[in-house]
């Protein structure tokens, strides 16, 4: 730990502590994890930018069907490349301490593939396909029916897409969301 | 210009939020703030009207109160709306002011609308897309700068500022800029205003220290989180649903460690320091026994005279540190254990209440959104293992297939005979289970009479009772599972819960029978019945560990080995033999394991009065169970493939813990007040009942003392009866009130449903008019302009058609019923309107139920705001 500590000054740690949901210890731990992804690069420059494929080696992101989406949402350059600050931001949002509203906002952006601020039919299709794994035998008709049913249930204003308010309405009522939308550091 | 844009954003956002409705009250304020400071125009007023609709409902006259025929005059209606609206707006804004004062937390809850997806692309009123990503920082800073609470120059406001900035969903760099700008503004303002007074500074410093302490505590807790690595491993392998069980286990372990800390330092340690009682007390007649390994299982022999049990504690007071006051062990014993039980009880009740609120009340609407939940919340982000990920994919796929199959199948309506048969079958199963439980109770009683009566056991025979009861419990579990299959409950969860309740009932029965036997047994004059109970509980706990953890774990191991060697090979054809099909890896049943923990904890709570060191035993046991279970789960068992609502099941377990703890408290109360203590052993010898020590020793009450008389007077039946009666009346009153609220909520929901239906109908007709009778379009006057570039546009092309439609009399039943309901509701609500909101929050545990249930107002309806009445 001592070696890691030397990369951050006390002020920087305080700064990160104020801006994320982590304690100083956890920030250092997060940095250790980040460093493990690319020891050379990060050892040289603590805020190095790692490419998306590198970041996707992080076990939780690797197993996650939305791993690339997560990287894109949290990337400050919007191309999926992740700096340490982005990584810290990501882990902070996925931590236990983050409130539901913050998690919901990011979940919405992860599921909003085309970035039009609505989860439309295409987004839903992508989500379902990724959830059941691409090479599964769930037919297009079935997916269509699922999408129709989802919209029937959750699209309160009948505009054929889920807005953030509708999405948040679902999340708000879910007691399991906060447990599942979480990555232990 | 920037200011103006902010207002527009407010309005747009506000509309969206109204559709979902949740937390509307807080968020809505922003829109109000903005609109309040700019010259009012048609747009904002209409937007705000949505917000205030509910306020009006709880007030005497509102938007929904029909004044005569609502269709009679267009003009009148519009004016009426505006008038009543401006009134209600004033009401609302004053309400809001109050709520902000009362609840500072709301401030950062409101920041949700500052999130990127709200701000980056906001539609202006002209339908253009405003992209403000460049000025994000300025924008948010400005928004936050308007909040007085945040901008004060004191530590509290700073803390609040930090919290608020944290909750903004932006990149860290953006947040940093925002924070810097804000602090600049604050400093600028601070130099202008005078410094705060000494008294206030003093007050702030207190609060500041409290927050700092909380922060320290948090970092301390995170540093010492038990099993951190193990939990991460389990979560990575099996997801959060399985790790919930381990969390439950860990929670109990931590609780027991805290108990151990207190009991150890206040009771056991002083006793060890003081040493054994001087010669002359009665246990010393028998020689001090040698230690046998057997004693660890039976709790007899050497252990029976150790600090493990009640009997060997001293009733003396002694000086621990020379020169200090005397330490009275009986008082320490009594106070430590009662206070700890009470505190545990409070902690458990609070956490149960919270868990119940979160998983049942606040999520009560999930039933409507089953599928969306399956999509949105189903992926477990904690999964970090490829195998687990594949399993998850398969599970989700199966869930979706089940769902589709259920949707596409014709709804099965069981015939009368079928239903009757099913009900009869269930009844038979219930009766069988109850019969089994009573048979078990009776045979346990017989066993106790046969083997439990002797005061001195020969070697291992002491274990008979505990072995039999534990084996019965395990066997009963399997029997129940088999019976449960007969019952054909459609929901898996129902079957599971009923099964759990049956097992729990059996456990309660067994513990109850044991207790009844021990307490009613005639006590030998020289014996120490407290120690005897302690020993029985010790044996139960030890045997439970060996049977349910070690033995069943070994059975699972054997099954796994069989599976590896003889089981079906992956990829090969499924085996045809019966044996072959059953050679699967053993399942890991979370429910049974959790129930075992509850049972364990019940025994501990009960036994801590008679054997303080049981806490240590249980803590060690839990530690072992944790590692054994983890090993089994990772190497031997297959995780359950079913998705189950972990939070609800966790709540159920908390409820069971609460129930058993409550029972334990009652029994302890009975023992302390009514059962005479043994005369020859333990810290309480010399008094007749345990409580007397408290009354006489601690409160220093004597018979003739005034307080004593007051106490005797208070405990008279008449007074207690009176108090109970009053409590009953109060409960009845509250219950009636909550029923009224529930009825009201139901009515409001109906109203909203009707309204939505009405709107839908209107829009459909409007659409028809727009597309069908183009020749009439010349009467339509478009004031606001187009706004949404989505599919909604098809409704929006002619917003003014609304008034046109209303010229024709309504023919459908829809409109009529709505009006009827409206009258009904305003009438029935008026009787309890004053604190309706508070009571709602009471009844529904802080959730604004009505709001969150809102079926949305169709977005297109906001188009109405652009409609001007025709001239």
Q: Where in chain A are the domains?
A: 11-92, 98-179
Q: Classify burial at B283, counting beta carbons within 10 Å of its beta carbon; exposed 0-12, middle 13-18, buried 19 or more.
A: middle
Tokens of B466: 């505990």
Smallest Cα–Cα separation from B824: which of B81, B87, B66, B69?
B66
Residue B494 C-alpha, separation from nearest chain A C-alpha, in angstroms: 19
Integer Cα distance of B48 and B53 in angstroms: 9
Give the count of Cβ contacts less than 8 A between chain A and B.
231
Q: Which residue of A has its CA nearest to B168?
A: A102
What's residue B27's pLDDT? 39
Residues in A touching B767 (Cβ below 8 Å): none
Query: Is the CB of B115 less than 8 angstroms away from the CB of A167?
Result: no
More confident of the two residues B524 and B331:
B331
- Residues B657, B366: contact at Cβ < 8 Å? no
To test the contact with chain A by mutation, choose from B183, B248, B377 the residue with the greatest count of A C-beta atoms within 10 A, namely B377
Could you give the angle at the alpha carbon of B443 between the alpha carbons of B441 and B448, nearest 5°?
95
Distance CA B363, CA B748 (A): 19
Q: How far off is chain B from A18, nearest CA to CA, in Å? A: 6
- A-contacting residues of B 418-447, CB under 8 Å? none
Closest residue in A to B177 (Cα–Cα): A19
Residue with tokens 């998690």: A103
Cβ–Cβ under 8 Å, residues B50 and B857: yes
Give the Cα separation of B765 and B755 in Å (integer). Answer: 15
DSSP state, residue B306:
S
Q: What is the C-alpha separation between B365 and B852, in angstroms, rounded?
A: 9
Q: What percent of chain A has pLDDT over 70?
A: 95
Q: B587 φ, ψ to 5°?
A: -80, 155
* Residue found under tokens 């139960």: B540
With CB atoms and an 8 Å threshold, state whether A156 touches B20. Answer: yes
Burial of B715 (0-12, 13-18, 19+ CB in 10 A): exposed
> What six digits make up the tokens of B492?
């898996």
Among chain B residues, the shortest Cα distance to A157 is held by B858
With 80 as the cut, is the pLDDT of residue B94 above it?
A: no
Mean per-residue pLDDT for B30-36?
39
Q: Is A173 in contact with B404 (Cβ distance < 8 A)?
A: no
Say if the Cβ atoms of A175 and B362 lie within 8 Å. yes
Domain ranges of chain B: 135-191, 228-280+287-411+446-684, 716-765
Q: What is the pLDDT of residues A45-89, one digit of tens each?
A: 877 888 888 888 888 888 888 888 888 888 888 787 888 888 888
| Top-confidence residue, B838 or B587 | B587
Determine, for residues A172 and B852 on separate chains, whether the beta-carbon distance falls below 8 Å: yes
| Best mutation target, A170, A171, A178, to test chain B (most B CBs within 10 A) | A170
B22 φ/ψ sector (left φ>0, alpha ψ -120 to 50, else beta): beta
What single string gives the DSSP state of each residue in A133-165?
-TTS---HHHHHHHHHHHHHHH-TT-SSSB-HH
Enumerate residue ranges in chain A where pLDDT < 70: 1-6, 134-136
Average pLDDT for chain B: 69
For the cut 60, the answer to whether the pLDDT of residue B374 exceeds it is yes
Q: What percent of chain B has pLDDT over 90?
A: 7
Residues A133, A135, A137: CA angle, nearest 5 degrees? 95
Closest-CA residue of chain B to A99? B167
Q: Do B376 and A99 touch (CB under 8 A)?
A: no
Q: Taking a C-beta distance cutoff of 8 angstroms, is the pair B58, B837 a contact?
A: yes
Residue B281 β-bridge partners: B279
Determine contact: B171 vs chain A, CB below 8 A: yes
Quickly state the pLDDT bin for B703 (edges 50, 70, 90): low
A142, A159, A166 member nearest B20 (Cβ): A166
pLDDT grade for B128, boundaries at 50, 70 and 90: very low
Within 8 A by CB and 6+ apart from B573, the residues are none
Would the CB atoms of A175 and B179 count as touching at under 8 Å?
no
Distance CA B601, CA B5 (A): 60
**Quick check: A180 and B380 CB within 8 A?**
yes
A154 interaction partners in chain B (CB closer than 8 Å): 369, 372
3-state helix, strand, coil in chain A (%, to 5): 60, 0, 35
CA gap B570, B547 in Å, rounded: 32
Mean pLDDT of B187-201: 66
User: Between chains, do B16 and A21 touch, taking CB under 8 Å as contact?
Assistant: no
> How far from chain centre, in Å, is Cα B666?
25
Supply the CATH classification number for the domain A98-179: 1.10.238.10
| Residue B728 pLDDT greater than 90, yes or no | yes
Stretch B708-731: mean pLDDT:
87
Give the minimum alpha-carbon distance from B109 to chain A in angstroms, rounded to a whole number. 8
DSSP annotation string for A72-127: HHH-TTSSS-B-HHHHHHHHHHTSTTS-HHHHHHHHHHHH-TT-SSSB-HHHHHHH
ipTM above 0.85, yes or no: yes
CA distance B676 to A175: 49
Across the interface, whether the CB atoms of B400 and A60 are under 8 A apart is answered no
pLDDT digits (tens, 9 = 90+) for B495-524: 888 888 888 999 889 888 888 888 877 665
> Would you state the pLDDT for residue B51?
40
Residue of B nearest to A130 (CA): B393
User: Cβ contacts (< 8 Å) between A175 and chain B: which residues?
Assistant: 358-359, 362-363, 366, 645, 647-648
Domain A11-92 has CATH 2.60.40.1180: no
Which tens digits make up the pLDDT trace of B565-615?
A: 876 665 555 555 556 666 777 778 888 888 889 999 999 998 888 888 889
Q: Say which of A76, A133, A163 has its CB closest to residue B16.
A: A163
- Residue B283's contacts (CB-CB under 8 Å, 6 or more residues apart) are B305, B311, B312, B528, B680, B681
| C-alpha torsion angle, residues B825, B827, B831, B836 (rounded to 10) | 30
Mutation site, A73, A156, A182, interface B, largest B CB count within 10 A: A156
Q: CA distances (Å), A132 to each of A59, A118, B360, B581, B856, in order? A: 19, 22, 28, 27, 31
pTM for the predicted model, two decimal places: 0.71
Contact A109, A127 (CB under 8 A): no
Question: Which element (helix H / strand E) includes B328?
Answer: strand B327-328
Interface of A with B in 102-121 (CB under 8 A): 102, 105-109, 111-112, 117-118
Taking the CB of residue B532, how many other CB atoms lie within 10 A of it?
Answer: 22
Provide the pLDDT confidence category of residue B108 given band limits of 50, 70 and 90: very low
Interface of B with A in 209-228 (CB under 8 A): 215, 218-219, 222-223
Q: Which residue in the set A19, A108, A112 is minimally distant from B166, CB to CB?
A: A19
DSSP code per residue over B528-547: -HHHHHHHHHHHHHHHHIII
Q: Pick A172's closest partner by Cβ from B22, B116, B179.
A: B22
Count of helices and strands (H, E) across chain B = 35, 4
Higher pLDDT, B449 or B2: B449
Contact B239/A at CB under 8 A: yes
Q: Do domains A11-92 and A98-179 have the same CATH topology?
A: yes
Q: How far is B3 from chain A (nearest CA, A)?
A: 23
Nearest by CB to A168, from B22, B362, B403: name it.
B22
Give the pLDDT confidence score for residue B535 in this predicted structure: 84
Is residue B232 scored above 70 in pLDDT?
A: yes
> According to the model, what pLDDT value does residue B80 have?
38
Q: Is B493 on the interface with A (CB under 8 A)?
A: no
- Contacts with B244 from chain A: Cβ below 8 Å: 179
What's the gap in Å between the CA of B118 and the closest CA on chain A?
A: 8
Higher pLDDT, B574 or B253: B253
Q: Which residues of B691-702 are buried (b: 16+ CB within 10 A; e: fewer)?
A: bbbbbeeeeebe
Q: Which residues of B touch A60 (CB under 8 A)?
A: 236, 381-384
């Amino acid at each position: 730990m001592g070696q890691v500590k030397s990369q951050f000054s006390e002020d920087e740690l305080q700064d990160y502590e104020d801006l994320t949901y982590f304690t100083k210890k956890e920030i250092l731990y997060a940095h250790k994890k980040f460093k493990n992804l690319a020891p050379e690069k990060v050892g040289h420059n603590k805020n190095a930018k790692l490419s998306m494929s590198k970041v996707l080696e992080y076990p939780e992101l690797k197993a996650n069907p939305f791993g690339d989406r997560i990287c894109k949402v949290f990337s400050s350059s919007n191309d999926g490349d992740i700096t340490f600050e982005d990584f810290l931001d990501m882990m902070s949002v996925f931590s236990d301490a983050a409130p539901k509203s913050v998690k919901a906002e990011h979940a919405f952006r992860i599921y909003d593939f085309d970035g039009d601020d609505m989860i439309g039919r295409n987004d839903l299709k992508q989500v379902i396909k990724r959830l059941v794994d691409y090479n599964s035998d769930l037919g297009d008709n079935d997916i269509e029916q699922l999408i129709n049913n989802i919209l029937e249930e959750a699209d309160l204003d009948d505009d054929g897409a889920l807005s953030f308010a509708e999405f948040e309405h679902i999340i708000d009522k879910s007691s399991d969301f906060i447990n599942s939308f979480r990555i232990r550091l | 210009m920037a200011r103006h844009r902010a207002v527009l954003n407010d309005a747009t956002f506000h509309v969206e939020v109204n559709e979902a409705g949740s937390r509307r009250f807080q968020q809505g304020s922003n829109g109000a703030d903005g609109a309040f400071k700019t010259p009012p125009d048609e747009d904002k007023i209409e937007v705000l009207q949505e917000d205030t609709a509910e306020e009006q409902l709880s007030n005497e006259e509102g938007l929904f109160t029909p004044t005569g025929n609502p269709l009679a005059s267009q003009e009148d209606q519009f004016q009426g709306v505006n008038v009543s609206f401006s009134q209600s707006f004033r009401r609302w804004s004053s309400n809001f002011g109050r709520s902000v004062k009362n609840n500072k937390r709301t401030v950062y809850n409101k920041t949700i609308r500052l999130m990127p997806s709200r701000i980056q692309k906001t539609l202006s009123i002209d339908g253009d897309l405003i992209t403000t990503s460049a000025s994000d920082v300025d924008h948010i800073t400005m928004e936050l700068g308007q909040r007085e609470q945040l901008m004060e120059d004191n530590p509290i406001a700073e803390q609040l500022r930090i919290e608020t900035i944290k909750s903004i969903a932006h990149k860290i760099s953006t947040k940093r800029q925002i924070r810097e700008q804000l602090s600049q503004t604050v400093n600028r303002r601070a130099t202008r205003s005078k410094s705060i007074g000494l008294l206030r500074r003093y007050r702030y410093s207190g609060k500041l220290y409290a927050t700092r302490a909380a922060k320290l505590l948090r970092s301390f807790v995170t540093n010492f989180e038990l099993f951190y690595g193990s939990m991460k491993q389990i979560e990575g392998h099996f997801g959060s649903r399985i790790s919930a069980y381990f969390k439950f286990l860990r929670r109990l372990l931590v609780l027991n460690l805290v108990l151990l800390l207190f009991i150890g330092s206040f009771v056991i340690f002083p006793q060890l320091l003081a040493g054994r009682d001087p010669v002359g007390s009665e246990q010393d007649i028998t020689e001090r026994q040698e230690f046998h390994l057997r004693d660890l299982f039976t709790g007899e022999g050497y252990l029976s005279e150790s600090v493990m049990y009640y009997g060997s504690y001293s009733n003396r007071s002694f000086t621990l540190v020379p020169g200090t006051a005397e330490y009275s062990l009986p008082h320490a014993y009594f106070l430590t254990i009662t206070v700890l039980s009470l505190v545990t009880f409070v902690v458990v009740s609070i956490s149960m209440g919270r868990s119940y609120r979160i998983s049942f009340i606040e999520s009560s609407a999930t039933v409507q959104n089953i599928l969306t939940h399956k999509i949105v919340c189903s992926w477990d982000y904690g999964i970090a293992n490829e195998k687990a990920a594949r399993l998850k994919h398969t599970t989700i796929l199966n869930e979706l297939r089940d769902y589709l199959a259920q949707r596409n199948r014709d709804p099965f309506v069981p015939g009368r005979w079928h239903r009757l048969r099913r009900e009869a079958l269930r009844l038979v199963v219930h009766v069988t289970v109850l019969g089994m439980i009573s048979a078990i109770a009776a045979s346990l009683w017989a066993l106790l009479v046969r083997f439990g009566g002797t005061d001195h056991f020969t070697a291992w025979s002491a274990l008979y009772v505990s072995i039999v009861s534990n084996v019965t419990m395990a066997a009963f579990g399997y029997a129940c599972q088999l019976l449960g299959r007969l019952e054909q409950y459609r929901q898996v969860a129902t079957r599971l819960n009923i099964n759990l309740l049956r097992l729990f009932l059996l456990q309660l029965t067994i513990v109850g029978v044991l207790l009844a036997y021990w307490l009613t047994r005639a006590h030998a004059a020289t014996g120490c019945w407290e120690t005897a109970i302690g020993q029985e509980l010790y044996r139960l706990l030890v045997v439970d560990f060996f049977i349910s953890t070690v033995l069943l774990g070994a059975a699972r191991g054997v099954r796994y080995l069989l599976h590896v060697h003889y089981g079906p090979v992956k990829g090969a054809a499924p085996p045809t033999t019966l044996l072959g099909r059953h050679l699967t890896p053993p399942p890991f049943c979370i429910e049974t394991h959790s129930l075992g923990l509850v049972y364990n904890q019940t025994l501990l709570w009960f036994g801590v009065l008679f054997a303080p060191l049981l806490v240590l035993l249980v803590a060690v046991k839990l530690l072992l169970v944790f590692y054994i279970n983890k090993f089994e789960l990772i190497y031997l068992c297959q995780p359950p493939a079913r998705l189950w609502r972990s939070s609800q099941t966790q709540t159920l377990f908390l409820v069971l813990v609460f129930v058993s703890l409550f029972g334990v408290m009652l029994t302890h109360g009975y023992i302390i007040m009514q059962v005479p203590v043994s005369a020859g052993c333990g810290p309480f010898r010399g008094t007749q009942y345990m409580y007397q020590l408290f009354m006489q020793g601690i409160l220093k009450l004597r018979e003739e003392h005034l307080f004593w008389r007051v106490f005797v007077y208070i405990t008279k039946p008449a007074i207690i009866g009176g108090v109970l009666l009053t409590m009953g009346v109060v409960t009845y009153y509250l219950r009636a009130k909550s029923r009224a609220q529930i009825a009201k909520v139901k009515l409001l929901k109906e109203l909203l449903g009707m309204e939505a239906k009405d709107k839908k109908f209107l829009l459909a007709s409007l659409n028809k008019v727009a597309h069908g009778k183009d020749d009439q379009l010349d009467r339509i006057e478009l004031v606001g302009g187009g706004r949404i570039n989505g599919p909604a546009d098809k409704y929006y092309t002619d917003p003014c058609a609304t008034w046109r439609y209303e010229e024709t009399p309504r023919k459908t039943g829809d409109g009529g019923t709505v009006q009827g309901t409206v009258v009904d509701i305003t009438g029935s609500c008026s009787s309890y309107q004053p604190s309706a909101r508070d009571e709602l929050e009471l009844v529904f545990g802080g959730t604004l139920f009505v709001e969150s249930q809102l079926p949305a107002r169709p977005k297109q309806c906001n188009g109405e705001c652009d409609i001007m009445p025709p001239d």
